[in-house]
Structures are given as structure tokens and as C-alpha cells.
């Protein structure tokens, strides 16, 4: 039944693409690489300042963000992690954090061979979002520890550096306050070399990306010999399709091929008012791309060694549906449903709490008194079903209030 839902969703996304190509809508040229789930002005809204003596233009930007988080069942971390459902229990816990605050610098320099661009961005999140059993604080708490999110340079059609994987797209993500977009949509940042062509209708990008194989606990040590190969086609801000091929290998064992297909679409229902967002993702050995990065090997491994000693990839599919409604020029609302499902085979060799199915639902109201300020409240509901627990599910609830000030 659930696979049928995914097939129908993929068919619907293909309609998104056909509809987008037929309508010839004007592209949104403001949002380039930035994560569109961060509400407010896009990362490049500030004009560049010239430095004539070196033919360089630059801009400094970012935002300050306060998150107020209330958990009523389980502690879900500073960045909402649905996989913490069923973890550390609470009868009510309030946290306030500004770790998501970001700072970025971008430059453009004129040369005899064209414009050279750079972009660097970081935020202040600690390295570990999880809560140890019985604790009301994250396992690693580094207030003010600055970490790099993006660091890349662009010249002509090439990009070199660390940024969103070419497999990731934000076209199908409604605006939400939770960091990282709806749980289940691929989101990961990698070091990579990317070539982008604008000669085809839309945009076609090919990349080779930093390899890393996530091995299920007790299944050996990963070996990385070849980069991940990713291709993504995007038509304006309406439709995207990306595909990935991976070589997955474990020490003293054979290698297997991982692959994935990821589709996203955005369909205006009422122009300027109501927009339907959707995403679908299917593959084998793509757990590394699902997030949260620090805990993927426990939650979404790429491979495992079966009882016969053979290396096997882990199958996975995910999807999301969202509705975005503009209530007024300054107020919007959104509701999202997302789900991730893994194959059952892994439970035969892994005695840990293997998440078979994770569901994430959220609804929010956002208010922009001015373009660069967003105030919002969001309700988040999530369930986790482990493979070993049959039909039993653990559910968790969170209310989040956020204030974002772009600069």
C-alpha cells in the first residue's frame, strides 16, 4: 500500500515537471544555493559592495535566530530530530537556543577570463544534537562553537568546495522553522566538484562528491575508493530530478552498487496564494543522504553484512507532501506530511533499535512584519516504529517558536 502511494506520488511529480515546462513561468533568480526552508529573505538579498582597487565586490550577511522549544514526551534535541522519539522521556521540557544563527560572506572578482565567485557560511550549532539517557542537555554542548556549512568557489560553469549535495533539492520544501526541512527529504552537504550547464532548458548539473559509506553496527569498516556520481536536472523553481550512483565497500568483503532517484515539485494551485509541494525519493545504499549526519550509521546505514557474510545495501524510500498558503502579504501558513521507510532485512542481523518507519507532520504560521524579520510558531508531531517492535510506535510532540532577523 505504501509503495503504491510512493508510485502515485512519483507520477504526480512527473506531472509537475510537464506542467512547469508548459507554463513557462519566470524563474525565481534570487534563491541559488541557499536552503529555502529558512524563512525570510534569500541569502543573497544584500547588494554587493565594490572594492575598485582589486576589482572585487563583496557582501556580509546572515541571520540571528532564536528557537524556543517545548517537548512534552521525549527530548528531541536543539535541531528537531524525529529519530529521538522513544529515547529520553520527559514530562515537559523547555529549551531556548540561538545556535542556528548564521554568518556568511560572498565575493565576486573580475578577471580576464571571467568572474570568480566565492561563498563561505557557518553557524553556531554544537557537534552533537542528541541527549544521553536521563539528561536534559545535549551530549556535547559547545556554546558559540562556529562550524562551516558552506565553503566553495565558482568559476565559469564549475564549482569547487563544500556545499549542498547535488542530490539535494529544496523545490518541494514548504517554509518551516525546523532546521533541515521535512524529515525524509534528502539533505546533506559534501565536498565536491560540480559542473552546471544552463544551455539546456532549465539547468543540468553533474558532480563528483566526497565518498563515505555508512556501515550498520557490527558489519565491519567502510572502504572508500570512488566518489559518488550525481546528476540533477532542474526546471526553474517548479521541478527537479536527481540521480546518484555509489560504490559501497567494506573491508575484507565485496563491494555493492548504491543508487537513488529523487524528485521534487512545486505546483501553484492559486497564483500567489496556494502552492502544493511534493517530494519522492527511492534507492539502495543512500542512507548517508538522509540526515541527521552525525547519527546516520545508527539510523540509516548504507550497507550491512548478512548472516551468510555477504555485503548487502539497505533499501529505503521516502516522500513528503506540503501545502503552503499565503494568508496575507505578511502572513503565511504551511502543513507538511513526510515519511521514511527502510527495508526489513536489516533487522535479521542488527539487534539494535532499527527504525523501520518514521513519520513527521508539522504545521506552522509565519509572520513577516518586514522583509528581513520572521516570527513564527510551529507544531511538530512525529512517530517512530522500530522493526523489532511490530506495529508498536513511539510518538512525540514539540511546539517551536522562532524569531529570525536577517542582516
| Region 2-12 average pLDDT | 55
Q: What is the pLDDT of residues 228-261, one digit of tens each?
A: 999 999 998 899 999 999 999 888 778 899 999 9
| Domain span holding position 252 | 2-406
Rounded Cα–Cα distance for residues 158 and 253 (Å): 36
**129-147 per-position pLDDT tens digit:** 443 433 334 444 455 678 8
Instruction: Tell me how far apart the alpha carbons of residues 195 and 33 are, in angstroms, rounded to a whole number.
Output: 14
Average pLDDT of span 307-332 = 91
Specify the CATH number for the domain of residue 366: 2.40.160.10
- Please write the tens of the pLDDT for every residue from 117-128: 999 998 887 554
Summarize pLDDT for 61-84 with one digit per residue, the tens. Answer: 889 999 999 999 988 878 777 777
Distance CA 319, CA 5 (A): 9
Region 354-367: mean pLDDT is 91
Residue 211: count of CB within 10 angstroms of its CB: 19
Q: Cβ distance 406 to 375 under 8 Å? A: no
Total domains, the chain: 1
Q: How confident is the model at residue 182 (pLDDT cuts 50, 70, 90)?
A: confident
Q: Is 363 exposed, middle or buried (0-12, 13-18, 19+ CB in 10 A)?
A: middle
Instruction: Convert the pLDDT of each residue in 192-229 to its tens digit.
Output: 999 999 887 889 999 999 998 888 877 778 888 899 99
pTM of the model: 0.85
The residue written with cell numbers 549535495 in the block is 165
**pLDDT at residue number 31:** 32
Average pLDDT over all residues of the chain: 81
| C-alpha to C-alpha distance for 31 and 39, rounded to whole angstroms | 12
pLDDT on residue 28: 38
Amino acid at each position: 500500500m505504501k509503495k503504491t502511494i510512493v508510485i502515485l506520488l512519483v507520477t504526480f511529480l512527473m506531472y509537475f515537471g510537464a506542467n512547469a515546462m508548459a507554463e513557462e513561468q519566470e524563474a525565481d533568480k534570487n534563491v541559488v544555493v541557499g536552503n529555502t526552508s529558512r524563512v525570510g529573505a534569500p541569502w543573497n538579498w544584500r547588494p554587493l559592495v565594490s572594492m575598485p582597487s582589486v576589482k572585487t565586490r563583496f557582501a556580509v550577511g546572515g541571520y540571528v535566530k532564536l528557537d524556543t522549544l517545548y517537548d512534552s514526551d521525549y527530548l528531541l534535541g536543539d535541531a528537531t530530530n524525529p529519530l529521538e522519539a522513544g529515547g529520553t522521556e520527559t514530562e515537559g521540557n523547555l529549551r531556548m537556543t540561538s545556535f542556528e544563527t548564521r554568518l556568511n560572506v560572498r565575493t565576486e572578482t573580475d578577471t580576464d577570463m571571467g568572474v570568480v565567485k566565492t561563498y563561505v557560511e557557518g553557524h553556531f550549532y554544537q557537534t552533537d544534537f542528541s541527549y544521553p539517557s536521563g539528561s536534559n542537555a545535549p551530549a556535547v554542548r559547545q556554546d558559540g562553537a562556529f562550524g562551516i556549512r558552506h565553503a566553495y568557489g565558482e568559476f565559469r560553469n564549475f564549482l569547487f568546495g563544500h556545499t549542498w549535495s547535488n542530490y539535494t533539492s529544496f523545490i518541494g520544501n514548504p517554509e518551516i522553522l525546523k532546521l533541515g526541512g521535512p524529515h525524509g527529504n534528502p539533505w546533506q552537504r559534501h565536498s565536491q566538484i560540480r559542473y552546471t550547464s544552463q544551455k539546456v532548458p532549465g539547468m543540468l548539473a553533474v558532480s563528483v562528491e566526497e565518498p563515505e559509506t555508512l556501515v550498520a553496527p557490527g558489519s565491519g569498516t567502510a572502504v572508500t575508493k570512488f566518489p559518488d556520481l550525481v546528476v540533477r536536472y532542474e526546471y526553474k523553481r517548479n521541478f527537479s530530478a536527481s540521480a546518484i550512483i555509489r560504490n559501497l565497500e567494506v573491508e575484507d568483503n565485496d563491494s555493492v552498487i548504491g543508487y537513488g532517484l529523487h524528485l521534487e515539485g512545486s505546483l501553484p494551485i492559486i497564483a500567489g496564494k496556494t502552492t502544493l509541494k511534493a517530494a519522492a525519493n527511492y534507492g539502495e545504499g543512500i542512507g548517508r543522504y538522509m540526515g541527521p549526519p552525525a547519527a546516520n550509521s545508527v539510523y540509516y546505514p548504507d550497507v550491512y553484512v548478512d548472516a551468510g557474510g555477504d555485503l548487502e545495501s539497505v533499501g529505503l524510500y521516502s516522500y513528503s507532501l506540503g501545502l503552503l498558503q499565503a494568508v496575507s502579504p505578511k502572513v503565511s501558513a504551511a502543513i507538511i506530511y513526510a515519511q521514511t521507510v527502510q527495508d526489513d532485512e536489516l533487522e535479521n542481523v542488527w539487534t539494535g533499535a532499527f527504525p523501520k518507519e518514521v513519520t513527521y507532520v508539522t504545521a506552522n504560521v509565519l509572520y513577516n512584519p518586514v522583509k528581513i524579520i520572521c516570527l513564527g510558531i510551529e507544531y511538530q508531531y512525529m512517530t517512530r516504529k522500530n522493526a523489532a517492535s511490530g506495529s508498536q510506535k513511539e510518538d512525540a510532540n514539540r511546539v517551536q517558536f522562532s524569531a529570525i532577523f536577517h542582516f
